[in-house]
Structure 1
Amino acid sequence: MTTDTQTPDSATSMELVIFYAGDILCGLPALNVREILKGQKVTPVYHAPPYVIGVINLRGDIVTIIDLCAKMEQDVAGNEGPNNFIIVHYKGENLGLSVGLIDDIIPASTKDIEPPPAHVGQKSGAYLSGIYKMEGQLAAILDIEKLLCLDSD
């Protein structure tokens, strides 16, 4: 006979990479993150969608860089300063998310994650998988599948 009283830690917790996109505190499950880069020079790509700011050379691979604020239609003023990129793997390729301050990688209990509010109808709200209740603040957990579905724009 099996019992449901013991569940694996991975079912009740995860690690989140916490960062800012403009003035919005965001989180991405660490399982989605390949690496974090700082200070890379971006080569512009002309005739790209407005949220694609360019490409970088990452150890011989060309990686498209997406401005997360522009993608979520947020004010980009909070992303001024050094380039910080979160590299994720999506549909067979690496993509970079240009973000503001990268805060930390934290353990997160799934019991502290709420579904996004139903009234969040803006474009940026469509990219959320949940809201993480941290001590004293909330972090918007991004849904990487919805965020990077480039065909939807």
Structure 2
Amino acid sequence: MEDKVIVFQLAKEHYGVDLQQVRSIERMQAITPVPQTSAFIKGVMNLRGDITPIIDLKERLELGKTEYTEQTRVLIVQIETIQVGLIVDSATDVIDIDPSFIEPAPAMIGGVTKEYLKGVAKLEDRLLVLLGLEQVLNQEEKSEMKK
């Protein structure tokens, strides 16, 4: 059985996350800053009545800051019991990946350390870095999101 993956871009690299963890893909909207949170937590967004914490994924993975453009998207994802928005440069595709094409993550790829990686998929035309969303936030940061 193939895995369905949402493909998105951060700093010219393509990444993927499990489609089952993605609730929706939204255009950039107004974000209300929340004081005394980590720098990569940009604030909260009112999404159809739900107050959703918003993270700049590029900043979280230490890949720089996101320049907001017409292509910028917010992936609304479920990380354990928390709904979180992840700011990405663009969301480009939904693809099926045969699990046999997925290899364990190297120590670092594209500037992202192994702790955030689920694996690397070897596709016909490129490598796709698969992120493990559970690892993107540590326990302390998950607690920050619940406040």
Shorter-chain TM-score above 0.5: yes
1:25 and 1:105 map into 2 onto residues whose CA distance is 12
Q: Which residue of 2 aligns with 1:3?
A: none
Max Rg structure: 1
Tell me which stretches of 4 or more aligned residues in structure 1 moved more than 4 Å: none
Q: Which residue of 1 aligns with 2:129?
A: 140
- Are 2:46 and 1:89 aligned? no
* Aligned alpha-carbon RMSD (Å): 2.1
Report the CA distance between 1:76 and its aligned residue. Answer: 2.4
Q: Which residue of 1 aligns with 2:119?
A: 130
Report the CA distance between 1:24 and its aligned residue. Answer: 2.1
1:70-100 deviation line (CA, Å, top 9, x unaligned)? 11001225x4314411111123221010001
Question: Pairwise mapping of residues 2-151 of structure 1 onto structure 2 (< 5 A)?
Answer: 9=1, 13-76=2-65, 79-82=67-70, 83-117=72-106, 119-120=107-108, 124-151=113-140
1:66 and 1:152 map into 2 onto residues whose CA distance is 11
TM-score (norm 2): 0.86
5+ residue gaps, structure 2: 143-147
TM-score (norm 1): 0.82
SS in 1 for 2:114: helix
SS in 2 for 1:81: coil
Identity fraction in percent = 30
Equivalent pair of 2:80/2:134 in contact (CA under 8 Å): no
SS in 2 for 1:50: coil
5+ residue gaps, structure 1: 1-8
2:10 and 2:135 map into 1 onto residues whose CA distance is 16
Provide the aligned length of Structure 1 versus Structure 2.
Answer: 140
